[in-house]
Amino acid sequence: MHYSVTTRSFFAILAMALVISSCGRSDADQDTVVTNPEAAQVIDNTAIARIDSTLQQFVDAGDIAGISALIYEDGDEAYFGAFGMADRRRDMPMNRKTIVQIYSMTKPVTGTALMQLYEKGTFDLDDPVSKHLPEFSGISVYAGEDASGEPLLEEPRREMTIRDLTRHTAGFAPNSPETEAGRMFMDAEPMNMENTLTDMAEQLASVPLEYHPGERWVYGISVDVQALLVERLSGKPFADYLDEHILAPLGMHETSYYLPEDDRIRFSGMYIRDTNDGTLTQQPDEDALYLNGHRWPLKPGGYGLVSTLDDYSRFAQMLVNGGKFGETRILEPETVRLMATDQLPDSVTDRSWLPTKGNVGFGINFAVRVGPQESPDDNYGEVGEFFWDGAASTLFWVDPKNKLTAVLFVQLMPYDEIGLHKSFRDAVYGR
């Protein structure tokens, strides 16, 4: 059965998803995080045919409207493919220049900005957040209700640190009506697009944490707080800092929060999949452009950027090359290694849905694969890989062992209910 998608229902889906969550040479530098000179070639002619077939099958089955992928291996472009339609209404095929919403794939970009400031010595990862953002100096933890139904609050067992923000152990309530703290979060509306990042922090600090810092992995608003840290520590508006220190230096000229009118002809439609019968409904244009068609005051650190395959692949190539792309140094190699190291202690046993990503821990703004595939049903990846994805089912990963980066673009909500990511990974590695 086909159904229409209202703005309200779409953003309900988005909120849920955010919680779950032709060949040529690159001039990328060879300063890698990890090298393996004996590694066999991953992307050969057989792999190319396998990836083509896999992605085309998803389009032919009607599970997705359009999809594209770009893979680099050992500094060379190893694979590019585009299948299906970016915009069915306008009869626009998916192609290399298609612009998509990357949602949570914004998070690693924010983490990179934060870690540039770490390299300058402006903070330590174990600094209390309140040292740099006084809005959080008196934050409490929700501890239930008293007999009259009023919330009971208690002091955190320890202060929230910047490291907590980078690994999602800060304790913030999720944007969900399922708990009282979550309902209080929703009522405060910290992520209202009319807010500034300072407004966001003030509203967020007005509601209690749901968990004590450092005790549970709970995905949420932490990276948006990182964006405010970047703003305060650098003295620049967050979006300006990204442009000046990451996007422009890497030549990511089509990655931004605001999509200019002239570029909207290349903007992919967004497709909502009916979870009952699998039919796809293309979202109305005004809804698809809600985030990026307006110059909102809020520039979230956790989502909001649009990008192209080539732009985001430049970012991924920078990471696999130890923080450098061509002659441009973004991060030091030791900083990239730190970001790609699991930061979750064994004491954090409650990790929400993170284990569904495979045998992983969590580094600084992306998952880190800490052990081999434990089951054929798990997502495959090389140990040491780091990666993340987006609410519209986009995906990227950095595989230092094979010096490989992969970027997969699609615009599908709810987040990957069709096994797309696993199938793509299996096709890449021949599993």
Each residue of 365-378: pLDDT tens digit? 999 999 999 999 99
Element (H or E) spanning 314, and its range? helix 309-320
Percent of the chain beyond pLDDT 90? 88
Q: CA 41, CA 167: separation in Å to the nearest integer?
A: 33
Q: Residue 153 — pLDDT band, cuts 50, 70, 90?
A: very high
Cα–Cα dist 34/417, whole Å = 33
3-state SS assignment for residue 264: helix
Please report where in the chains the tokens 């190291």 appear, as a residue: 341
> Dihedral, CA atoms, 166, 10, 413, 106, nearest 10 degrees?
-30
Task: Name the DSSP class of 70.
Answer: E
Q: How confident is the model at residue 37 (pLDDT cuts 50, 70, 90)?
A: low
Domain around 224? 116-234
Quote the CA–CA distance of 170 and 189 in Å, as a whole number.
18
Q: Give the length of the chain.
A: 431
Provide the pLDDT for residue 26: 38
**Cα–Cα distance between 49 and 329 in angstroms, integer?**
35
Contact 67, 355 (CB under 8 A): no
Look at residue 155 and give its three-state secondary structure: coil
Say if residue 303's pLDDT is above 70.
Answer: yes
Nearby residues of 175 by Cβ (< 8 Å), 6 or more positions away: 15, 18, 19, 182, 185, 186, 191, 220, 221
pLDDT greater than 70 at residue 22 = no
Structural domain includes residue 144? yes
Closest CA to 32 of 331, 269, 323, 345: 323
Cis peptide bond prior to 345, omega within 30° of 0:
no
In a domain, residue 414? The reply is: no
CA distance to 72, 157, 264, 338, 344, per residue, from 362 (Å): 24, 22, 35, 11, 6
Does a structural domain hold residue 107? no
Inside any domain, residue 160: yes
Whether the Cβ atoms of residue 268 and residue 66 lie closer than 8 Å to each other: yes
Cα–Cα distance measured from residue 386 to residue 405, given in angstroms and rounded to the nearest whole number: 10
Burial of 399 per CB tally in 10 Å (0-12, 13-18, 19+): buried
User: Lowest-confidence range among 12-26, 185-199, 229-243, 388-402?
Assistant: 12-26
Spatial neighbors of 158 by CB under 8 A, at least 6 apart, are 212, 213, 214
Tokens found for residue 70: 């770009």
SS3 state of residue 271? strand
* Number of alpha carbons in the 13 Å side-chain half-sphere of residue 63: 17
Domain count within the chain: 1
d(CA 119, CA 117): 5
The whole-chain average pLDDT of the chain stands at: 92
Residue 146: the pLDDT is 86
Residue 343 CA to its chain's centroid (Å): 17
Helical H runs in 173-293?
Answer: 180-188, 197-205, 222-234, 238-242, 285-288
Domain assignment present for residue 222? The answer is yes
pLDDT of 9 over the 50 cut? no
Confidence band, pLDDT 50/70/90 cuts, at residue 148? confident
385, 375, 378, 391: which is closest to 406 by C-alpha?
Answer: 385
The angle, 0 to 180 degrees and rounded to 10, between the axes of the packed helices 309-320 and 107-119 is 40
pLDDT over threshold 60, residue 163: yes
Q: What is the pTM of this model?
A: 0.91
Residue 71 domain flag: no
Please give the torsion angle defined by the CA atoms of residues 425, 390, 201 and 236, in that order, rounded to the nearest 10 degrees. 90
Asked, for residue 223, whether it belongs to a domain, the answer is yes
Joined tokens for residue 367? 């998952």
| pLDDT of 213 over the 70 cut | yes
Q: Is residue 123 part of a domain?
A: yes
Reported confidence tier of residue 307, pLDDT bands at 50, 70, 90: very high
Q: Please choose, from the candidates 116, 136, 134, 118, the residue with its C-alpha nearest in 3D space to the C-alpha of residue 126.
A: 118
The CATH code of the domain that includes 156 is: 3.40.710.10
In sequence order, the 6+-apart residues with CB closer than 8 A to the CB of 431 are 380, 425
